[in-house]
A and B are shown apart, each in its own frame.
Chain A
Amino acid sequence: MRIVYSWLQEFLPDAPGPERLEELLAGLGHETETIEHLPAPDPKIVFARVLSVQEIPGLEVRRLLLDAGREVQVISGAPNARSGIGVALALPGAVLPSGQELSVRKIQGLESYGMALSPRELAVGEYAGGLLEFPEAALPPGTPLAEAWPEESVIEIEITPNRPDVLSVYGLARDLAALGLSLVHPEPRPKTTALALPFQVWIEDPKGCDRFTLSYARNLRNGPSPLRAQRRLYAAGMRPISAVVDATNYTMLELGNPLHAYDARFLGQGIVVRRARPEERLVTLDGVERSLDPRDLLITLKQGDQTLPEGIAGVMGGQHSEVRPDTTEVALEVAHFDPVSIRGTAKRQGLKTEASYRFERGVDPNGQVRAALRFLELVQQWTGAEVGEARIDLDHTQPPQPIAFWPSHTNRLIGVEFPADQQLGVLRRLGFEVVGQEPPYSVRPPSYRMDMGLEEDLIEEVARVLGYDQIPVTLPSFFPAPDNLGVDQPYQAKERLKAVLAGIGFQEVVNYSWSSPETLAKYRAPAPTVAFANPQASDRTHLRTALYPGLLQTLEFNLSQGEGGPFLLFELGNVFQREETTHLALLLCGESVPGRWQPGLGGGFYALKGLLENTAAHLGASLKVQKEPFAHLHPGISGAVYWNGHRVGSIGQLHPGIAAQVELPPTYLAELELPLPTLKSRFKDVAKFPAALRDLAVVVPEAVPYAELEALIRGSAGEALEGLEPFDVYRGAPLHPGEKSLAFHLSFRDPARTLTDTEVEGFMARVIQALEAAGYAIRK
Chain B
Amino acid sequence: MPPNVLIGEAMDTQAALQAIAEASSLEALQQLKAQYLGKNGLLTGEMKTLGQLAPQERRERGRVLNEIKQRLEQALAERSHTLEAQALEAQLEQESVDVSLPGYAFPSGGTHLISQMQAELLGIFRRMGFSVVEGPEVESEFFNFDALNIPPWHPARDMQDTFWLEGSSEFRIHAPGGQPTRDQGRLLLRTHTSPMQVRYMVEHTPPFKIVVPGRVFRYEQTDASHEAMFYQLEGLVVGEGITMADLKGAITELARGLFGSEARVRFQPTYFPFVEPGAQFGMWWAERERWLELGGSGMVHPNVFRAVDEYREQMGRPRAYETLTGWAFGFGIERLALLRYGIPDIRYFYQQNRLSFLRQFKP
Contact = CB atoms under 8 A, between A and B. Distances in A.
Interface residues of A, number: 97
A485 B130 CA distance: 10
B171 interface: yes
Nearest to B213: A491
Nearest to B299: A413
Contacts of B359: 507
Contact of A415 (B245, B270, B276): B245
Given A530-B171, A566-B105, A484 B208 contact: yes
A492 B132 CA distance: 8
Task: Select the residue from A457, A501, A504, A543 with max chain B CB neighbours within 10 A.
Answer: A543
B131 A507 contact: no
A29 B358 contact: no
Given A412-B243, A568-B109, A529 B349 contact: no
Interface residues of B, number: 96
B112 to A, nearest CB: 4
A601 B103 CA distance: 12
A511 B350 contact: yes
A29 B268 CA distance: 6
Contacts of B1: none
Nearest to A455: B302
Interface in B324-350: 325, 349-350
A474 B108 CA distance: 42
Contact of A487 (B105, B133, B350, B358): B133
Contacts of A597: 101-102
A162 B270 CA distance: 9
Given A475-B250, A476-B246, A507-B355, A481 B165 contact: no
A536 B219 contact: yes
Given A474-B246, A534-B219, A454 B276 contact: yes
Interface in B98-116: 101-102, 104-112, 114-115
Interface stretch (B34-42, B51-59, B153-161): B153-161
A683 interface: no
A361 B170 CA distance: 39
A100 interface: no
B313 interface: no
A592 B105 CA distance: 9
A507 B71 CA distance: 67
Contacts of A504: 109
Interface string B79-115: 0000000000000000000000110111111111011
Contact of B269 (A468, A576, A580): A468
Interface string A407-445: 000001111100000000000000000000000000000
Interface string B126-164: 001101111011100000000000000111101100011
A490 B134 contact: yes
A571 to B, nearest CB: 9
B174 A505 contact: no
B358 A476 contact: no
B245 A460 contact: no
A509 B112 contact: yes
Interface in B242-293: 242-246, 248-250, 252-253, 265-271, 273, 276-279
A28 interface: yes
B131 A505 contact: no
A162 to B, nearest CB: 5
B164 A27 contact: no
Interface string A475-503: 11011111111011011100100110111
Contacts of A594: 105
A412 B239 CA distance: 13
A468 to B, nearest CB: 4
Contacts of B102: 596-597
A540 to B, nearest CB: 8
Interface in A514-561: 529-534, 536, 540, 543, 554, 557-558, 561
A459 B277 contact: yes
Contact of B189 (A481, A513, A568): A513
A425 B248 CA distance: 25
A464 interface: yes
B114 A510 contact: yes
Given A343-B155, A480-B131, A513-B215, A460 B278 contact: yes
Nearest to A510: B112
A596 B105 contact: yes
Contacts of A473: 245, 248-249, 252, 265
A563 B355 contact: yes
A604 B206 CA distance: 52
Nearest to A502: B109
A487 B131 contact: yes
A558 B354 contact: yes
A506 B109 contact: yes
B48 interface: no
A564 B355 CA distance: 8
B353 A471 contact: no
A593 interface: yes
Interface string A448-463: 0000001011011001
A339 B229 CA distance: 32
Contacts of A479: 207
A510 B353 contact: yes
Contacts of A482: 205
B137 A503 contact: no
Contact of B350 (A510, A567, A592): A510
A134 B215 CA distance: 55
B27 interface: no
Contacts of A488: 131-133
Contacts of A459: 276-277
Contacts of A503: 109
A513 B111 contact: no
A301 B61 CA distance: 149
B246 A529 contact: no
Contacts of B267: 468-469, 471
A460 B106 contact: no
A580 B242 contact: no
A472 interface: yes
Contact of B209 (A162, A469, A480, A563): A480
Given A480-B207, A563-B356, A163 B271 contact: yes
B248 A533 contact: no
A508 B111 contact: yes
Contacts of A454: 276, 302
B273 to A, nearest CB: 8
B351 to A, nearest CB: 8
A414 B243 CA distance: 5
Contact of B353 (A475, A558, A600): A558
Contacts of A28: 269
A600 to B, nearest CB: 8
Given A469-B267, A488-B132, A580-B136, A534 B167 contact: no
B26 interface: no
Contact of B134 (A491, A508, A558): A491
A460 B277 contact: yes
A161 to B, nearest CB: 4
B111 A498 contact: yes
Interface string B208-237: 111000010101010000001100000001
Task: Select the residue from B186, B245, B352 with max chain A CB neighbours within 10 A.
Answer: B245
A476 B239 contact: yes
B167 A513 contact: no
Given A476-B249, A594-B105, A596-B105, 20 more contacts: A29-B269, A413-B277, A414-B245, A456-B299, A464-B277, A468-B267, A474-B246, A475-B249, A481-B204, A481-B208, A483-B205, A484-B204, A507-B358, A530-B166, A530-B171, A530-B187, A531-B167, A531-B168, A534-B164, A566-B105
Please give me the 6 A-B residue pairs with the lowest Cβ-Cβ distance, nearest first: A415-B245, A29-B269, A415-B243, A505-B107, A460-B277, A160-B271
16 contacts: A360-B155, A456-B299, A456-B301, A468-B279, A472-B245, A484-B131, A487-B204, A505-B106, A505-B109, A510-B112, A513-B217, A529-B168, A529-B171, A531-B167, A577-B171, A596-B104
